[in-house]
Amino acid sequence: MVRLAQESFILPWTPAIFRFELESARTLALKACLDGFPAGFAILHPGVDAWELLYLAVNPRLRRKGVGWALILASWEHIFPRGPHCITLEVSERNTSAIALYEKFGFCTVGRRPNYYPEEQADALLLDFRP
């Protein structure tokens, strides 16, 4: 996961942060493989009234092949039977391909955090999904 995150983001989580999140009993971590290669992963954490999509990464060489779509669908299969039925996330305003994917699933922009990603000089968009 760490290597894939390093290939996907300007400032990925450190190995210690990954370890901390993955050791939480409540964290949901999903991995995807395509033709035997690591294709992507998603990390979600339940909150009081919503699940938060903390991380979604897709191998840059395997993008636009349905990996992100499959990870979101697999997440829903785990989340929605358990409740609550809401997912939140934040995404860089510059990550237009991720925003387009989330919007196809019905996520809506509900807020903005100015200059949340200073390394990109970008705001974070806060997205929400409620079926």
Q: pLDDT tens, 19-69?
A: 888 888 788 899 999 888 889 999 999 888 889 999 999 999 888 889 999
Give pLDDT, residue 12. 84
pTM > 0.85: yes or no: yes
Instruction: Give the other-Cβ count within 10 Å of 62's Cβ.
Output: 18
The alpha carbon torsion through 4, 9, 94, 125 (nearest 10 deg) reads 90
* Cα gap 123→34, rounded to integer Å: 32
**Listed residue (56, 53, 51, 45) closest to 5, CA to CA:** 56
What DSSP assignment string belongs to 94-113? T-HHHHHHHHHHT-EEEEEE
Q: What is the pLDDT of residues 81-118, one digit of tens each?
A: 766 678 999 999 999 999 999 999 999 999 999 999 99
Residue 33's DSSP bridge partners are 38
* All domains of the chain in start order, with CATH: 2-129 (3.40.630.30)
For 63, the 3-state DSSP assignment is: coil
* Cα gap 16→7, rounded to integer Å: 17
| Percentage of the chain modeled with pLDDT above 70 | 98
Phi, psi of 65 (to 5 degrees): -120, 15
